[in-house]
Structure 1
Amino acid sequence: MRSALRRAARGIRWYVRELTDESAHDRYVAHVRNDDPGAPVPSRREFERARADRQEEDPRQGFRCC
């Protein structure tokens, strides 16, 4: 019973992270490590700041309501 609840909780957590794009930094880190293991990887804060800047420069990148 507990294993089924844990599995369901993991599935819900994965779904929410993908839906909110919270896992984007994790995917980016995996991509960088795969291409060049010695390359510097930006922190989550640096990554999110750069992503927000890109979205503000090109409105087609991020759908903004305001």
Structure 2
Amino acid sequence: MSAATATPFDVVRRIGRFVSGVTGADRYERYVEHLRRVHPERPVPARADFWRAHYAEQERNPGTRCC
């Protein structure tokens, strides 16, 4: 489907996916896909548990963030 034939709903959905990817909002979904593909024996954490662990890791290793 080209941009010329996309419905307004399709355009909004594509923009939403782009923004989610840029902001990292889709990080949990990508992690779940990775677990199911590479580590199917591991349990999938709840969304809240994933984000709690993610933010705790950021606090331990701030990397290149400014604050």
TM score, norm. by length of structure 2: 0.80
State, as a whole percentage, how many aligned pairs show the same letter.
34
Once the two structures are superposed, the pairs formed by residues 19-30 of structure 1 within 5 Å of their partners are 19-30=22-33
Structure of greater relative contact order (alpha carbons < 8 Å, 6+ residues apart): 2
- Alignment partner of 1:55 is 2:58: yes
How do 1:33-52 residues align onto structure 2 when only pairs under 5 Å count? Answer: 33-52=36-55
Flag structure 1 segments of 5+ consecutive residues without an equivalent: none
**Aligned residue pair count:** 64
Q: Which amino acid aligns with 1:23?
A: D
Which ranges of structure 2 fall in alignment gaps of 5 or more residues?
1-5
Q: What is the CA distance between 1:36 and its match in structure 2?
A: 2.8
Structure 1 stretches (4+) deviating beyond 4 angstroms?
A: none
**CA separation of 1:64/1:48 partners in 2, compared to 1, >3 Å: closer, same or farther?**
farther
